[in-house]
Amino acid sequence: MATGLTILDPTSESNPSTRQLLARPADIKGHTIALLDISKPRGNVFLDRIEELLTERGAHVKRFAKPTFTKPAPVDLRHEIATQCTLVIEALAD
Amino acid sequence: MSTTAPLLPDGFVVIVKHECATCQMVEPVLAAIAASGAPLTVYTQDNPDFPASVPHILDTTLAVSWHNDIETVPTLLVIKDGVETERTFGWSQAEWQRITGISSLGADLPATRPGCGSMSVDPDRVDALRAAFTDSPVISRHIEFSSAEDEFEAMYARGWTDGLPVIPPTRERVLRMLTGTTRHPQDIVAIAPPDLVELTVEKIAINAVMAGCLPEYMPWVIAALEAVCNDQFNMHGVLATTMPVGPVIICNGPGTRAIGMNSGINTFGQGNRANNTIGRAVQLTIRNVGGGRPGEVDRATHGNPGKISFCFAEDEENSPFTSLATERGVPAGQNAVTVFAGEGPRCVVDQLARTPEELTASLAACLLTVNHPKLVIGFDAILTLSPDHGRVYAEAGWTRERLLAEIAERTLRPGADLVRGAHGMAEGAPLHLRDSTLPKFRAGGLLLTYAGGGAGLFSSIVAGWANGAIGSDPVTRIVGS
C-alpha cells in the first residue's frame, strides 16, 4: 500500500501492564483487611459499618486514611497497606 | 540526506542562483576570478546550466547552502585549510576586489547591488531542510499513515484530540516548534499526571504543533506545564475531580505582547491564536502524554468549555493596579504564567455604580456566590476587572491592596447565615461555626486581574476548586527561553 503522512507519536509511548486479579478468598476469617478512607466527607460512616460487619465475620480490620481525596495515596501508605494486610477495601463517599 | 556538512574546497567559494539578477550580473566577475588562475568553486542552487561561463557544482539539495548558513546569494567565501576566513554577500565592488586581490574586478559594474534570498532560507523550504539536515535528537516513534487514511480522521480515531481537529505533528513541524525554545528536546520538564510520565520538551513540542501553537509560544507552554505538574497545583486532582475546573492560565510580562496575546476585547473568548493554543497545548499534553482523558481519570460531572483552552494575558499597560505576577513576586519585566484551577467565567453586571464603594459592594455580593453562597474559605476565585470598572478605582486612587481589603470586609459573613440548614438550605458550614464571623475567601484567595475590551461596565469572576493542601493552590512560574 502506498504510504501517507508520517507523524511523531504524541503519547508517552508506554502501555499499562495488565495483571491478573488474585483469586477471591473463600473466606475472610483470619484475613487482615485494610479499610482505606479516602477522606471524603462521611466516608468514615460507611467504613465504620463495614468494619463492624467484617469483624463479626472473623476478619481483622485495620483502618487507613489518605491525607486528601484529591491526590493519589502516598507511596508509604500503599506500602504500609501492602505489607500489613491481605485484602483492601477503598471507600468513596459524600 | 546527510546531516553532516559537506567540506568546502580551499580557495574562493561562491554560491549563486540563476533566478537572482545580481548573481547573473556577477557572472563575468566569476569568469574573471577563474581566468586569474585563483582556485574558484561555484555552487548553483537552481539552474544546472548557470553560470555557463565557469564550471559549477549543483547544490539543488541545498546541503552546502544550509550547512554554511548562506542567507543571501551571491555569497563569496574564502576557505583556508577547510575553514572559512572571509565572507561577503550581495555585490560590493570594494569587498570583492579586496577579498580576491583583483583590483580591476567588476570595474564596469555598479559599486554595490544587494543580493537575493538564498533558497536555503526560503520559508517554504526551510522546515524540510531543517528536518533533512539537522541531526536533532528527536526520538519519538514515527507513525506512518496509509495513503488511504485521512490523517485528521486517523488522529481522531487514535484518541489524540480534544474533539477539535489537530495539526499533524510531522517531524518538520516538530523541529520548527523546537526552534522556539533553547531547551534540549530530551530535557524533562515535569512528571505528567495521571500516568506519572517523564514529560520531555519533545513531547510538549509535538502536542504544541497539534494544538496550533507557533514556536514562540513554546516557552509559555513549557512554563504552564511546569506550573500545573506539581503537588501544589495538583493537576492529578484537577483532572480527576467531579467539579468543572481546569487549568486557567494567566500570562504576564512584556512577552505577552511580543507573541500577540489578547488582553482586550473578548480576552477569554475565541479568535486569538496565542490565547487559544497555549492553553490547548497544555491540555493536549496532559491528555496524550499524561494519559488524562475525560471519562477515564477525568471524572468531571459537567466540565467546562475552558477545558479546551482557558488562557489570557493581563492588560498591564492600562491597568491601574500592579499586575498579578508582581503581586506574586515576579520581578518587573519578567514573563510569567500563573495557573489556577478554575471553572468558566461569569459576568458581573453593574452599569450604575460610579463610586468605588458602590462597585465594590456589587463585586462583593457576586463573589459571595462563588460555588455556593453558604460555602466559605474553601474556594479561591479570580476577579477580572474590565477597563470600565477599573477606571472607577483608578479615578478614586484605589490600589490593588485597598480594593482587596474592601472586598474582604464586604464578604465577611455571620456564621448563623452560613451553617447547614440556615435559609432552608442543607448545604453550608458546620454548625459549630454558628457564632463565628467568616470570610468568603482565605487570605490571598482572591486573584485580582485586569483585562477586557474598552467598553462594558462588567467584570468577570472565575470560581475555583478546593484550595490548599487538600486541593489546589495557584502556582506562578517564570517563563524561560
Total count of domains within chain A: 1
DSSP B103-114: TTTTTTS-SEE-
CA distance B247 to B225: 10
Q: H or E element: which one contains B67?
A: helix B63-67
What is the Cα B255 distance to its own chain's centre? 10
Omega before B123 cis (within 30°)?
no
Phi, psi of B342 (to 5 degrees): -135, 160
Read off the C-alpha cell for B284. Answer: 493536549
C-alpha B473/C-alpha B345 separation (Å) is 18
Distance in angstroms (rounded) separating the CA atoms of residues B20 and B45: 10
State how far the alpha carbon of A88 is from the alpha carbons of A79, B197, B337, in Å: 12, 27, 41
pLDDT confidence band for A19 (50 / 70 / 90): confident
Q: Has residue A1 been placed in a domain?
A: no
C-alpha separations of B150 from A76, B197, B366, B457 in Å: 48, 29, 48, 47
Beta carbons of A58 and B458 less than 8 angstroms apart: no
Could you say which of B146, B174, B194 has the minimum Cβ distance to residue A1? Answer: B146
Chain B residues with at least one Cβ partner in A under 8 Å: 138, 140-149, 151, 155, 160, 168-171, 174, 192, 194-195, 197, 202-203, 206-207, 210, 231, 234, 236-237, 240-241, 284, 288-291, 466, 469-472
Under a CB-based contact definition with an 8 Å cutoff, are residues B348 and B386 in contact? no
CA–CA distances in Å: residue B167 to residues A17, B154, B164, B212, B381: 30, 12, 10, 6, 34
Which helix (H) or strand (E) segment holds residue A91: the answer is strand A87-91
Q: What span, in angstroms and rounded, lies between the C-alpha atoms of B160 and B286?
A: 11
Measured between CA atoms, how close is B362 to chain A, in angstroms?
33
Q: What angle do CA B212, B215, B217 make, to 5 degrees?
A: 75
Cα–Cα distance between B282 and B304 in angstroms, integer? Answer: 16
* Residues sharing a CB contact under 8 Å with residue A18, sequence separation 6 or more, in sequence order: none
Condensed to tens digits (0 to 9), the pLDDT of residues B202-254 reads: 999 999 999 999 999 999 999 999 999 999 999 999 999 999 999 999 999 99
CB B173 within 8 A of CB B137: no
- Asked if the structure places residue A4 within a domain, the reply is no
Which one of B149, B284, B289 has the shortest CB-CB distance to A4? B149
Q: Write out the residue range of the structural domain in which residue A79 sits.
A: 32-91
Burial track B310-322 (b if 16+ CB lie within 10 A, e otherwise): bbbbbbbeebbbe
Spell out which residues of chain A touch residue B210, defining contact as CB-CB under 8 Å: 10
Question: Cell 489537530 appears where?
Answer: B166
CB-closest option in A8, A13, A71 to B236: A71
Query: Do residues B33 and B100 touch, judged by C-beta distance below 8 A?
Result: yes
Cβ B143–A67 below 8 Å, yes or no? no
A93 pLDDT higher than 70: no
pLDDT at A41: 83
**From B207, B236, B237, residue closest to A10, measured CB to CB:** B207
How does strand B311-313 pair with strand B246-252?
parallel
Euclidean distance between CA atoms B89 and B84, whole angstroms: 14
Cβ–Cβ below 8 Å for A68 and B149: no
Phi, psi of B119 (to 5 degrees): -65, -20
pLDDT of residue B406: 98
Contact between A9 and B206 using a beta-carbon 8 Å cutoff: yes
Residue type, B174: V
Alpha-carbon distance B174 to B202, whole Å?
A: 8
pLDDT band at A2 (very low <50, low <70, confident <90, very high): low
| SS3 assignment, position B329 | coil
Residue of chain B whose alpha carbon sits nearest to that of A9: B141
**B interface mutation test: which of A70, A78, A92 has the most B CBs within 10 A?**
A70
Distance in angstroms (rounded) separating the CA atoms of residues B253 and A27: 64
Are the beta carbons of B171 and A6 separated by less than 8 Å?
yes
Distance from the first to the final alpha carbon of chain A: 55
List pLDDT tens digits, range B262-315.
999 999 999 999 999 999 999 999 999 999 999 999 999 999 999 999 999 999
Cα B131 from Cα B35, distance rounded (Å): 39
DSSP label at residue B441:
B
| Residue A84 counted as domain residue | yes
CA B407 – CA B157 distance, rounded (Å): 49
The verdict on residue A50 lying in a domain is yes
Q: What is the pLDDT of residue B1?
A: 46
Distance from CA of A89 to the nearest CA of B (A): 20
Helix ranges (DSSP H) in A1-89? 43-56, 75-84
Is residue B373 reached through a cis peptide bond, with omega within 30 degrees of 0 on the bond before it?
no
Q: How far is A37 from chain B (nearest CA, A)?
A: 14
Which chain A residues are within 8 Å of B202, Cβ to Cβ?
8
Which residues in B lie closer than 8 A to residue A92 (C-beta atoms)? none
B270-273 long-range contacts, Cβ below 8 Å, gap at least 24?
Answer: B273/B212, B273/B214
Instruction: Determine the topology of domain B11-133 in CATH.
Output: Glutaredoxin (3.40.30)
pTM of the model: 0.86
Listed by start position, the domains of chain B span 11-133, 152-478
Q: Which of B147, B171, B210 sits opposite A4 (nearest CB)?
A: B147
| Mutation for B interface: A3, A5, A8, most B CBs within 10 A | A8
CB contact under 8 A, B466 and A70: yes
* A interface with B, Cβ–Cβ below 8 Å: 1-14, 39, 67-72
Nearest CA in chain A to B161: A10
Which residues from B are below 8 Å from A7, CB to CB? 142-143, 145, 151, 155, 168-171
Q: Contacts of residue A2 in chain B, CB cutoff 8 Å?
A: 146-147
Give me the amino acid identity at A6. Answer: T
Length of chain A: 94
Does residue A6 sit within a domain? no
Q: How far is CA B432 from CA B56, B416, B418, B428, in A?
A: 92, 10, 11, 11
Virtual torsion, Cα B2, B7, B8, B10, nearest 10 deg: -170
A4, A12, A68: residue with CB nearest B470: A68
Question: What string of DSSP letters covers B172-235?
Answer: HHHHHHHTT-SS-TT-EEEEETTTTEEEEHHHHHHHHHHHT--GGGHHHHHHHHHHHSSTTTTH
Between the alpha carbon of residue B20 and those of residues B24, B44, B116, B126, B308, the distances in Å are 6, 11, 6, 19, 47
* Beta carbons of B298 and B245 less than 8 angstroms apart: no
Question: pLDDT tens digits, chain B, 481 residues: what are they?
Answer: 456 777 899 999 999 999 999 999 999 999 999 999 999 999 999 999 999 999 999 999 999 999 999 999 999 999 999 999 999 999 999 999 999 999 999 999 999 999 999 999 999 999 889 888 887 789 999 999 999 999 999 999 999 999 999 999 999 999 999 999 999 999 999 999 999 999 999 999 999 999 999 999 999 999 999 999 999 999 999 999 999 999 999 999 999 999 999 999 999 999 999 999 999 999 999 999 999 999 999 999 999 999 999 999 999 999 999 999 999 999 999 999 999 999 999 999 999 999 999 999 999 999 999 999 999 999 999 999 999 999 999 999 999 999 999 999 999 999 999 999 999 999 999 999 999 999 999 999 999 999 999 999 999 999 999 999 999 999 999 999 8
What does the radius of gyration of chain B's CA atoms come to, in whole angstroms?
A: 30
ipTM value: 0.84
Quick one: DSSP state of residue B60? T
Q: Of A6, A13, A72, which is closest to B170 when you measure between CB atoms?
A: A6
Identify the H or E element spanning B28: helix B27-35
Instruction: Report the residue of B136, B138, B147, B225 to disrupt the A interface, i.e. the one with the largest count of A CBs within 10 Å.
Output: B147
